[in-house]
Amino acid sequence: MQKVFLVEDSPLVLGRLTALLGGLPDTLVVGHASGAEEAVAAILSAKPDLVVLDLKLAQGSGFDVLIELHARAPGIDCYMLTNFSAEPYRRQAARLGANDFFDKTNEFERVRDVVAKRAANLKH
């Protein structure tokens, strides 16, 4: 069973993500946060296998979270999901250790596919 943590400051998007990922086999959403500091503390406490992370947060940014997690818990996979999908953001996310980067506008469903594939691979 893979554990997923969501970092998203929009209640609407958080609800969509929870519904999208919560129904996947072998996947459990173990928490969520809306700000960078809160997210890092909660992620380190929950010890998820992966994090789905928005770039622009209520306090701080997804990049702040990536930096902290890469330094303190490098084994956690991080996937960025954001409206700010321009190439410079994608490159920065990759440099900071993001496993992948998705545009909320046209790649929202791909998050489910990647998380489901990851869960299936863990079973083998």
Query: What amino acid occupies position 65?
Result: V
User: 95-118: per-residue pLDDT in tens?
Assistant: 999 999 999 999 999 999 999 999
Residue 61 has pLDDT above 70, yes or no: yes
CA separation for the pair 59, 113 (Å, rounded): 29
pTM of the model: 0.96
Residue 52 CB burial class (10 angstroms; 0-12, 13-18, ≥19): buried
Q: What is the pLDDT of residues 45-58, one digit of tens each?
A: 999 999 999 999 99
Here the tokens at position 114 are 């990647």
pLDDT tens track for 16-27: 999 999 889 999
pLDDT at 124: 65
Q: Which two tokens stand for residue 23?
A: 């129904």
Output DSSP code: residue 78: E
